[in-house]
Amino acid sequence: MIHQDGYVIHPELWRDEWLDLDYIGSPWPLPTDDYSYRDEWGQIVRVGNGVSLRSKKLMDLIATRPMVYHYNNNNEDGQICCWNRQWLISQGCKFATFEQALHFGKEVELPENKGKDTFLFHSI
């Protein structure tokens, strides 16, 4: 999924291993509050972002779930990566690790990705 402010900038950095995943997006920063970037169990989620690669399996599954507002936010990446994450995992979906996401994309500059090229970006 691409946006007008997020798309592939380094196609040569593509990794076939990403096709084994059901979701990969850019890494998220550590939260500065007690509710952001957390799954339905309260665990911190470090991989998200709307500009992402998603499997048909994941998209078919998430389409069966009602969208529930959380903290006045209904972004689809939050629905997938946070609020339905554990359910999607229980259905066999595989999410990228933080390390994989560091190579995939960049939405914000983090200490772990500072100065590194990535496959894509999202409005950095």
pLDDT of 71 reads: 74
pLDDT of 75 reads: 86
- In degrees and rounded to multiples of 5, residue 111 shows phi and psi of -55, -35
Does 51 reside within a domain?
yes
Does 73 reside within a domain?
yes
Residue 81 to residue 101: CA distance in whole angstroms: 13
Average pLDDT, the chain: 93
Does 24 reside within a domain?
yes
Residues contacting 60, CB < 8 A, separation 6+: none
- pLDDT band per the 50, 70, 90 thresholds, residue 3: confident
Over pLDDT 70: what percentage of the chain? 98
Query: Average pLDDT of 18-25?
Result: 98
pLDDT of 124 reads: 61
Closest CA relative to residue 53, chosen from 111, 86, 113, 13: 13
Closest CA relative to residue 75, chosen from 102, 107, 119, 104: 107
pLDDT of 17 reads: 97
**What is the domain extent for residue 112?**
6-122
Does 82 reside within a domain?
yes
Residue 99 to residue 79: CA distance in whole angstroms: 22
Does 1 reside within a domain?
no
Q: Tokens 């936010």 map to which residue?
A: 73
**Which residue spans within 21-94 are E strands per DSSP?**
23-27, 47-54
Domain count for the chain, please give it.
1
pLDDT in tens, 49-102: 999 999 999 999 999 998 887 776 778 899 999 999 999 999 999 999 999 999
Instruction: Give the containing element (helix H, strand E) for 90.
Output: helix 85-90
pLDDT in tens, 107-119: 999 999 999 999 9
- pLDDT band per the 50, 70, 90 thresholds, residue 22: very high
pLDDT of 48 reads: 94
Cα separations (Å) of 30 from 10, 26, 45, 60, 97?
26, 13, 8, 29, 15
